[in-house]
Chains A and B, each alone.
Chain A
Amino acid sequence: GAVVSQHPSWVICKSGTSVKIECRSLDFQATTMFWYRQFPKQSLMLMATSNEGSKATYEQGVEKDKFLINHASLTLSTLTVTSAHPEDSSFYICSARTGRHGYTFGSGTRLTVV
């Protein structure tokens, strides 16, 4: 089945630094990728939708200059958290469309900003 590989699985960074999270589709081409954020014991909140070769569409309230999304190829999408602060600490998850009714999720990245 379709697999989305997400790395790193966890990362700790200092406040003010930037962190990049990668999601790769291993055996299919992901034309559309979704990025979610999940706080403890809460649901997944969609941050942005990216289509290969075009700019990402951000949800209301998500700072596009802080959460940079790049989807330069059909198999790789990246989320860069710039100038991270402790309130950015969260669980970040990517998801890719695998067909009309298919969505495959990455395993998530636990970001801790200290």
Chain B
Amino acid sequence: QQQVKQSPQSLIVQKGGISIINCAYENTAFDYFPWYQQFPGKGPALLIAIRPDVSEKKEGRFTISFNKSAKQFSLHIMDSQPGDSATYFCAARPVRDDKIIFGKGTRLHILP
């Protein structure tokens, strides 16, 4: 079964620090790796996404690093702010498929 494994389950970071969330996958046939941010009682919102032909993508304070050979990708949040406190999900989409497979999520708390 195709899986996306996410860690840590929860993370506490001081304001201004760097938040790092890691994901790994077990199937090479993925062609799209998005990260979603979800606040309590809301649907997920796309934060940033990367395709496997790119090793890094940066958008503002958010950076995805992608290691195709290791089948790993990570989200870095620079200068973390209390407003970043949310649950973050990594995900992957299998090639020739529409559905998104989600990781189990990371609950991030930024200390003020």
Count of B interface residues, CB-CB < 8 Å: 20
Q: Given that A43-B89, A44-B89 are contacting pairs, would A105 and B45 also be in contact in the complex, using a CB cutoff of 8 Å?
A: yes
Count of A interface residues, CB-CB < 8 Å: 22
Interface-centre pick from A42, A44, A102 (highest chain B CB count, 10 A): A44
Question: Interface majority SS on B: helix, strand, loop or mixed?
Answer: loop
Q: Does A19 contact B (CB under 8 A)?
A: no
- Chain A contacts for B105, CB-based, 8 A: 42-43
Shortest distance from the beta carbon of A103 to any chain B beta carbon, whole Å:
6
Q: Does B61 contact A (CB under 8 A)?
A: no
Contact B102–A97 (Cβ < 8 Å): no
Q: What would 8 A/B residue contacts be, using CB atoms closer than 8 Å?
A: A6-B43, A34-B100, A46-B100, A95-B43, A105-B36, A106-B43, A107-B43, A110-B41
